[in-house]
Structure 1
Amino acid sequence: MSRVFSITIAAATATIFVVAVPRTLAAQPFEGAVTMRMSAKGANGLQRQEMEYLVRNGKVRVSMGGPAGAMSLLSVPQEQKVYVLIAAQKSYMEMPIAGAASSVAAKPPTDAKITRTGRLETVAGYSCEHVTVASAAQTVDLCLAKGLGGYVNPLASMPRSSEPAWQQMLTADGGFPLKVTMADGSVPLEVVKIEKKKLANDLFSVPLNYTKLEMPHRR
């Protein structure tokens, strides 16, 4: 299986890429669930994985599967912390949001040219605008929607070598990516369902029966 989908405890201790919440949000913040389909080419062909992305009051929880069992990333701006929840071990780790955000560039390469095409598309019932970001290294088409809050990229917890390159094209005020299309036509990310609904408070907190693990020291 591709390294992109090899979600392990060690990988979860790496950097999490947090993009700032857009300033131009609707008066009523989005609360609900977003289902994403992630795709990547591996040794056995195209690998796909769906992830559940939950949003409530600025908090974000992204739930994934993996060889070690279900894993969730919980971003809590009110506490300035990101928690890694490991269901199989009933344990968790934590790191400061500031440290996670500052260690990865939350902006496109300096030579990137951003073009808002004005072309709209409806993805999972939401309208998004196609924005082309071109640099010497790559060209990416991002279909960005407003009103869904800031985007926390869970795959950025993987080592930098396996990190999707398109994530560097996201800008702090660009919006939420509903669809990402590479120059070769491949689609590494596409939102397949958006449900606006009330979510329980306990989905955005560490379970009381979880044991805290220390973050391993990175080389």
Structure 2
Amino acid sequence: MRWTVPNVLTVSRVLAAPGVLFAFLLLDSPYADWIALILFTGAAITDYFDGWLARLWRQESAFGRMLDPIADKLMVAIGLLVLATFSVGATPLYLIPASVILTREILISGLREFLGEVKLHVTRIAKWKTTAQLVAIGVLLSAVPLAHLTGAEPRPVRPGALAQPIGAAVAWGGPEALPVWNWVVASGLALLWIAAILTVVSGWDYFRKALPYIHGRER
């Protein structure tokens, strides 16, 4: 493996993913929230630049192609875990799309392992779903830092929030919280649902393309 700039960026993304978790384990809020947001945002930005630089400088490698999707999945999985544990909590508005995303990623990873040497090209919608996942998680991670900047006090959504009016259901701080707090959380949850829909669509597209190879191995 050559230590090219694109490969270094990809490896840094792998290291940043657990760094988001350790920020919350080792530090108190709001320091943990700020560090986690900076780590996640920086790593998400490298998701674009490592591939772009590899193509621009003709430094594409088997190592980079192998590690790049793993880094993406680590960021998404750990980001969702951190939000459920330290921020969003057990609200259906969050847990449903998060579970859909994780289920799809595990199923498609198992399908790729089954196909072995058969390589299916990454589609445009698969790139969109990854971008949507990273943006949604980044927005939700920014909610606590923005709340502290505006003076609002973050409080977890109650488990029964799905049955409440949408204005209160999406607000950790409830109706009395500052408007920016409501809008950040609402935007993050909306983006997460969009990401979940794109995740399902891209997963079905991948499975559909893999079906001929699956049938071929059963004969």
TM bucket (normalised to shorter chain) is under 0.3
Higher helix share: 2
Whichever of the two has the greater Rg, that structure is 2
Higher strand share: 1
